[in-house]
Every structure is written in structure tokens, then in C-alpha cells.
């Protein structure tokens, strides 16, 4: 495999967890809920996915376990913020801390154990094509799922009644409630969807990107996913572009180090986060000029009339 193909494949695998987590969080925020616990849900998905695959020997079971772990963490967040009306920012931060601590405890016995890698597809005659074959037809199933999920979410949000309801709840929960929409139910389902995507993103890290378990292996990717949603102006297809952009920045930094450019390793490791901060600064200035594109009720609690 040529170095170019290897770099492209690495960029795609590095971008996929960002895309999965970003799309899930976008749906959550479109419903008016701000969940800062993406990092915690991702790391729980990573340890659950690795553990289930390690015990059973099946990466498919690992994927299911990762989704369930993220969904369960999201259910805790939904109960606290939507039923008990706790502060969404504080609860999200607490969820991240819970996930980081609990995953370290659960995964203590998995450190150093060999992982079960999610296999790439091998389509006879297509995967063997030069350059295009391994890039387009030789990815693992979750890469294709992430792209399909982004397209489906974009279609649902902007071309279906369900998407209209989600956006209406996020823009004006009082008006949606007056029209008979169950705001709490819509937001709960959106939060659970976001948790499932975050858990799947974490599972991808421990099953495909680096098939092993290392404590805190998400390494801030959950925060990048949160920034991606703002970067994309709450548009799914822009999340895809942003995910691949940030994935490329991270991978190309390591490529620069490998070819001996003499750039400090610490700077290269921080490069994706520096780019994230710079992007948010540019977006902030643009938002002041054009007005915010965020859902109007983002982060605002809702208590239905008794």
C-alpha cells in the first residue's frame, strides 16, 4: 500500500469518531438540549466496546455494547436535566467526570490486553483497485455507517415532519408545547440518539482506530465533537466536512513528525485543539455580524404546565 493511501486511510479512521459523535450531538442540540457529557459517553462506549469484544471475541457485540453504554449514560443525563430539570451545563460536566472515572475502573483489567479489531471490507475486484480500491471500497463498516448516518440525519431534520418537530422544540419549546408536542419526549429521544452515537464513536476508537484499551483514550475528542457542531452551524453535512478537516489536521501533524520536519511533538499533539480554538474564534466573529444560528432554546430548561 502506498504512503499516500496509508495517510488517507488514517485520516478517514481518525475522522470517523468525530463525525459520529458530532452528528449525535447536533441532533441533541437541535432539540434544545446542551449535553457537555460527550467525552464521558464516548469513553464509556470505548471501554464497553473493547470489553465486550475481548470477552466474546466478536467486534459486532463490541459495537452493540458501545452503543448501549453511550445510551445508558445519555439516559442518566436526560433523567437529571429533563425530568428533574437540573442545570444542563453542570450535569454534562459531571457526566464527563463520571464517565472518565468509571471507565478507568471498569477497564483496569483490560489495560495491555490484545484487542479485537473490526475488519475492513474486502470486495473482490473493487478493493484491489489501485489507490481508489482501498480508500473507497476497503473501509470498515462503521466508516460507511457514519457517512450514511450523516446523510440520513440531514434528510430527517430538513425534509421530514419529525425533523420539523425537533427543530421546533429547539427553537421555541413553549410554542411547540402549545401545539400539543411532547417537548420532554422529543428531547429525551434526541438525547438518547446523541448518546448512542457518542458511545459508537468511543467504540470505534477501541475497536478500529486503535484496537486496545487505554485509560482516557478519547483524549478530548468529545470536546472537539462539541466544537464541530458550532463550527458546522448546526448543519449535518458541514459536520462531516469539519470532522474530516480536523481529522486531517491531527494526522498530518504526525506525518510531518515522521518525515523529520523538526517540529516539537508536543506542538503537533496540540495542533487539532489549536485549530479548534481558532475556528471557534472566527465563527464567533462571524456570528456577531450575521446573528446566531444556534437553536433559540438551546440549554434552556422546560417545565410543562401543570
Q: Is the pLDDT of residue 290 over 60?
A: no
pLDDT-based confidence at residue 291 (cuts at 50, 70, 90): low
| 51 domain-assigned | yes
Q: Residue 232: which domain range?
A: 3-290
Give the pLDDT score at 288.
58
- Flag the least confident range among 87-96, 201-210, 247-256: 247-256
The sign one gets for the Cα dihedral 146, 212, 245, 139 is negative
**Number of domain units in the chain:** 1
| 107 domain-assigned | yes
| 215 domain-assigned | yes
Q: What is the mean pLDDT of residues 122-137?
A: 83
Q: What is the largest CA-CA distance in the chain?
A: 66
Average pLDDT, whole number, for the chain? 89
| 123 domain-assigned | yes
Tell me what percent of the chain is helix, strand and coil, each rounded to the nearest 5. Answer: 75, 0, 25
| Cβ atoms within 10 Å of 39's Cβ, excluding its own | 28
pLDDT in tens, 229-286: 988 889 999 999 999 988 888 787 777 767 766 667 667 667 777 777 777 777 666 6
Which of 119, 115, 107, 109 lies closest to 48 in space, CA to CA? 107
What one-character DSSP code corresponds to residue 109?
Answer: G
Give the pLDDT score at 52.
96
Give the pLDDT score at 246.
87
Q: What is the CA radius of gyration of the chain?
A: 19
Q: How far apart are CA 5 and CA 134, in angstroms?
A: 8
Of 289 and 173, the structure prediction assigns the larger pLDDT to: 173
Which residues neighbour 82 within 8 Å (Cβ) at sequence distance 6 or greater?
A: 33, 184, 187, 188, 191, 302
Q: What is the mean pLDDT of residues 290-305?
A: 82
To the nearest 10 degrees (0 to 180), the angle between helices 161-171 and 183-204 is 100
DSSP 232-262: TTT-HHHHHHHHHHHHHHHHHHHHHHHTT--
Q: How far apart are CA 172 and CA 167, in angstroms?
A: 8
Give the pLDDT score at 60.
94
Give the pLDDT score at 127.
79
The separation between CA 292 and the C-alpha centre of its own chain, rounded to angstroms, equals 23
Give the pLDDT score at 13.
92
To the nearest 10 degrees (0 to 180), the angle between helices 3-30 and 161-171 is 70
Q: What is the mean pLDDT of residues 126-133?
A: 82
With beta carbons less than 8 A apart as the criterion, state whether 40 and 95 touch. Answer: yes
Cα 197 to Cα 111, 134, 225, 287, distances in angstroms: 24, 25, 11, 28
Give the pLDDT score at 67.
98
Phi, psi for 71 (deg, rounded to 5): -65, -40
The sign one gets for the Cα dihedral 145, 148, 154, 160 is negative
The sign one gets for the Cα dihedral 273, 278, 283, 284 is positive
> Tell me, what CATH number does 108's domain have?
1.10.3470
Of 130 and 188, the structure prediction assigns the larger pLDDT to: 188
Give the pLDDT score at 304.
79
Give the pLDDT score at 284.
67
| 297 domain-assigned | no
Give the pLDDT score at 209.
92
- Flag the least confident range among 1-15, 88-102, 134-148, 184-198: 1-15
| 302 domain-assigned | no
Q: Record the cell numbers describing residue 4, joined without a space.
A: 499516500
pLDDT in tens, 47-70: 999 999 999 999 999 999 999 999
| 295 domain-assigned | no
pLDDT-based confidence at residue 20 (cuts at 50, 70, 90): very high
Amino acid at each position: 500500500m502506498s504512503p499516500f493511501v496509508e495517510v488517507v486511510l488514517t485520516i478517514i479512521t481518525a475522522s470517523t469518531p468525530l463525525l459520529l459523535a458530532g452528528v449525535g450531538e447536533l441532533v441533541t442540540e437541535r432539540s434544545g438540549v446542551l449535553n457537555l457529557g460527550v467525552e464521558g459517553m464516548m469513553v464509556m462506549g470505548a471501554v464497553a466496546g473493547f470489553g465486550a469484544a475481548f470477552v466474546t471475541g466478536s467486534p459486532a457485540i463490541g459495537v452493540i455494547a458501545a452503543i448501549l453504554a453511550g445510551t445508558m449514560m445519555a439516559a442518566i443525563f436526560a433523567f437529571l436535566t429533563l425530568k428533574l430539570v437540573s442545570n444542563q451545563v453542570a450535569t454534562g460536566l459531571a457526566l464527563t467526570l463520571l464517565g472518565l472515572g468509571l471507565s478507568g475502573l471498569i477497564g483496569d483489567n483490560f489495560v495491555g490486553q490484545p484487542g479485537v479489531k473490526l475488519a475492513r471490507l474486502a470486495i473482490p475486484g473493487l478493493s484491489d483497485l489501485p489507490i481508489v480500491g482501498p480508500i473507497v471500497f476497503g473501509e470498515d463498516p462503521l466508516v460507511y455507517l457514519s457517512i450514511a448516518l450523516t446523510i440520513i440525519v440531514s434528510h430527517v431534520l430538513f425534509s421530514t415532519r419529525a425533523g420539523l418537530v425537533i427543530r421546533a422544540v429547539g427553537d421555541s419549546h413553549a410554542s411547540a408545547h402549545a401545539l400539543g408536542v411532547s417537548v420532554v419526549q422529543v428531547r429525551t429521544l434526541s438525547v438518547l440518539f446523541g448518546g448512542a452515537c457518542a458511545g459508537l464513536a468511543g467504540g470505534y476508537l477501541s475497536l478500529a482506530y486503535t484496537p486496545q484499551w487505554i485509560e482516557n483514550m478519547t483524549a478530548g475528542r468529545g470536546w472537539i465533537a462539541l466544537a464541530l457542531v458550532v463550527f458546522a452551524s448546526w448543519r449535518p453535512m458541514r459536520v462531516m466536512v469539519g470532522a474530516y478537516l480536523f481529522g486531517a489536521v491531527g494526522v498530518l501533524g504526525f506525518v510531518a513528525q515522521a518525515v523529520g520536519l523538526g517540529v516539537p511533538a508536543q506542538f503537533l499533539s496540540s495542533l487539532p485543539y489549536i485549530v479548534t480554538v481558532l475556528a471557534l474564534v472566527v465563527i464567533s466573529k462571524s456570528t456577531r455580524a450575521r446573528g446566531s444560528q444556534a437553536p433559540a432554546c438551546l440549554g434552556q430548561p422546560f417545565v410543562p404546565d401543570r
